Amino acid sequence: MRVGASSAPKNLAGLLVAVIKERGKVELQTIGAASQNQAIKAIAIGRGLVAPNGRDLICSPSFMDIDVNGEERTGIRLVVEFRPE
Amino acid sequence: MRVGASSAPKNLAGLLVAVIKERGKVELQTIGAASQNQAIKAIAIGRGLVAPNGRDLICSPSFMDIDVNGEERTGIRLVVEFRPE
């Protein structure tokens, strides 16, 4: 899912945890420092959401080329999943 | 280690991989979206540095209070380590 600079980290956290529970992992796509910041905050909050169940989240960042209105931009992809037990 | 907004991700990547090899993990402290951006890029580059050895890096973000010249700021701590095999 794409993360906007104005995405609310708390809402995003709930959403990403729901997707990870259903599919095992989620891919957050960010372009620019501001949207990346929201994504990282959401992951930090998400860790708190799963902690009461004895789980933890980890993320793996990588570069990605994204087409934004016909213009090629370099973004960061954050794959988030449960920490292997 | 603290990451500045002007830290070069490529240099930081080499440094963080060296520390992880020696100590098992490294903690990157960032304040603000720009320094966080450099840290995340460094982790993405670091994954490429360890990949030829069949290893991968994961990171865990959390919030932290940092004292900056006597002023309390909220930063993001990124603990980076090898992905468990």
Predicted ipTM > 0.90: yes
> Is A57 part of the contact surface with chain B (CB cutoff 8 Å)?
yes
Q: Which chain A residues touch B5 with a CB distance below 8 Å?
A: none
Given a cut of 50, the residues of chain A with pLDDT beneath it are none
pLDDT for residue B68 is more than 90: no
Q: Could you give the CA distance from residue A63 to residue A28 in angstroms, rounded to a whole number?
A: 12
pLDDT for residue B66 is more than 90: no
Contact A47 B33 (CB under 8 A): no
B64 CB burial (10 A radius; 0-12, 13-18, 19+): middle
Q: Which chain A residues touch B62 with a CB distance below 8 Å?
A: 44, 47
Sign, CA dihedral B43-A32-A81-B35, equals positive
- What percent of chain B is modeled with pLDDT above 90? 84
Give the pLDDT mean for B2-12: 93
- pTM comes to 0.94
Say what the pLDDT of residue A47 is: 98
Contact B61 A40 (CB under 8 A): yes
Cα B32-A79-A44 angle, rounded to 5 deg: 45
